[in-house]
Amino acid sequence: MQRSVITGTGSFIPSTIQRNEDFANHLFYGENHIALDTPPQVIVDKFKQITGISERRYADPQQTTSDIAAIAAKAAILDSGIDPETLDQIILAHNFGDVINNTIQSDAVPSLASRVKHALGIKSPNCIAYDILFGCPGWVQGMIQADAYFKAGIAKKALVIGAETLSRVIDQYDRDSMIFSDGAGACILEYKETGENGKGIMGASVQTHSIDEAYYINMGKSYHPEGDERVRYIHMKGRKVYEYAMRYVPAAMKDCLDKSGVAITDLKKVFLHQANEKMDEGIIKGLYKLYGQNTTPEHIMPMSIQWLGNSSVATVPTLYDLVTHGQIDPHSLHEGDVLLFASVGAGMNINAVCYRY
């Protein structure tokens, strides 16, 4: 049996820590451009209660998304022990390209994947580098695409990266801006003979809802009433996103498990996009309820959002890298464990991948 197997992982966690108290003197406005009458400290405290976030990481001023992607990529290559010249693909998921500090202009030409290939010094023209724009589920989608290429006989080895510097595109007057952070995660995926244990990707599920839901997360002018109409920042309809996730993500995860022939009782870990602690806990409860279970197993879902925030496409690969290297207690992985990678984000897009460790 041949399957797509993760043979190495890496991540980059920026050193600059932005704590909740750093927002305590911010002036926040609503979508209607009217200043919120709730004191900033109260807003920050309520934010912590809902999201679970105490701090987040921002990239250094001189670093771009492709820079931190390359750092995570090098770590994954080193962890796998492969020769980077043997890579068939470099797939880089992001949303905003390289955004230079103190600007809001996205730079994605050349592609960020090509920039990473350049930074890695890979000479082989047969290593194809391309980007994915798929919202927060981009890294998981990159895994799905690489697996499809493998099964089609087009490739056998891929570097899949998720990287983002959301701190460059947030509106400081929007309280939801406190959710976002920067980071990068990567893995080496290889199509290998796995024998009877069936290690690797077992199945996947993907959905896009773009009628009423298409603009739940979007780019718009600052909430500040005197904001420049020509400058766009990331905004989201938080309640709509939450309701959407509760309605559709558990079902997509169940679809993935069912396609993979995996019983819910055999699931050992869920690596879920680190969007919001309350939302993620609700998604897990929703998944188990679909199987008629009103309780969830202890330690089923590792989390990093409390100290890393929401770094979009980077959350899932970074979390997986940290767990595989024993950096998130009490979580650990054992041979044969069935894992589920899942994400939700702008588009609105949902995806899930079932994987045997």
Report CA-CA distances (Å) from 35 to 46, 118, 180, 225.
Answer: 17, 46, 21, 9
Say if residue 64 is exposed, middle or buried (CB neighbours under 10 Å; 0-12, 13-18, 19+). Answer: buried
pLDDT > 90? residue 102: no
Q: pLDDT (tens digit, 9 = 90+) per residue, 250-270?
A: 999 999 999 999 999 999 999
Closest CA to 234 of 188, 173, 291, 317: 173
Do 167 and 232 fall within a single domain?
no
* Interstrand relation of 200-208 and 89-93 (parallel, antiparallel or unpaired): unpaired
Do 222 and 296 fall within a single domain?
yes
Do 225 and 188 fall within a single domain?
no
Do 77 and 164 fall within a single domain?
yes
Do 15 and 163 fall within a single domain?
yes
d(CA 302, CA 323): 8
Does residue 270 contact residue 342 with C-beta atoms inside 8 Å?
A: yes
146-164 mean pLDDT: 96
Q: What is this structure's pTM? A: 0.94
Here the tokens at position 159 are 């570097």
More confident residue, 343 or 104: 343
Report CA-CA distances (Å) from 191 to 92, 146, 185, 195, 199.
Answer: 19, 9, 20, 12, 11
Does residue 323 contact residue 185 with C-beta atoms inside 8 Å?
A: no
232-239 mean pLDDT: 92
Do 125 and 227 fall within a single domain?
no
Tell me how many domains the chain contains: 2
Give the pLDDT confidence score for residue 195 in this predicted structure.
Answer: 76
CATH code: domain of residue 124? 3.40.47.10
Structural domain boundaries enclosing 50: 2-196
β-partners of residue 352 are 205, 342
Do 209 and 160 fall within a single domain?
no
Q: pLDDT (tens digit, 9 = 90+) per residue, 284-317?
A: 999 999 999 999 998 999 999 999 999 999 999 9
Does residue 342 contact residue 272 with C-beta atoms inside 8 Å?
A: yes
Give the pLDDT confidence score for residue 9 in this predicted structure.
Answer: 98
Give the pLDDT confidence score for residue 196 in this predicted structure.
Answer: 73
d(CA 77, CA 339): 22
333-338 mean pLDDT: 94
Give the pLDDT confidence score for residue 238 in this predicted structure.
Answer: 87
At which of 140, 167, 196 does a domain end? Answer: 196
pLDDT > 90? residue 105: no
Do 138 and 232 fall within a single domain?
no
Do 231 and 350 fall within a single domain?
yes
d(CA 1, CA 199): 9
d(CA 162, CA 313): 5
At which of 196, 214, 244 does a domain end? Answer: 196
Give the pLDDT confidence score for residue 104 in this predicted structure.
Answer: 81
133-147 mean pLDDT: 97
At residue 101 the predicted structure's pLDDT band, cuts being 50, 70 and 90, is confident
pLDDT > 90? residue 194: no
Do 24 and 118 fall within a single domain?
yes
At which of 141, 175, 196 does a domain end? Answer: 196
At residue 152 the predicted structure's pLDDT band, cuts being 50, 70 and 90, is very high
Does residue 175 contact residue 43 with C-beta atoms inside 8 Å?
A: yes
H runs (alpha helix) in the chain: 40-51, 65-80, 112-120, 138-151, 238-260, 277-290, 305-308, 315-324
Do 137 and 226 fall within a single domain?
no
Do 169 and 240 fall within a single domain?
no
Q: In Å, how far from its chain's centre is CA 136? A: 5
Give the pLDDT confidence score for residue 12 in this predicted structure.
Answer: 98
Q: pLDDT (tens digit, 9 = 90+) per residue, 34-87?
A: 999 899 899 999 999 999 999 999 999 999 999 999 999 999 999 999 999 999
User: How does the average pLDDT of the chain come out, rounded?
Assistant: 95
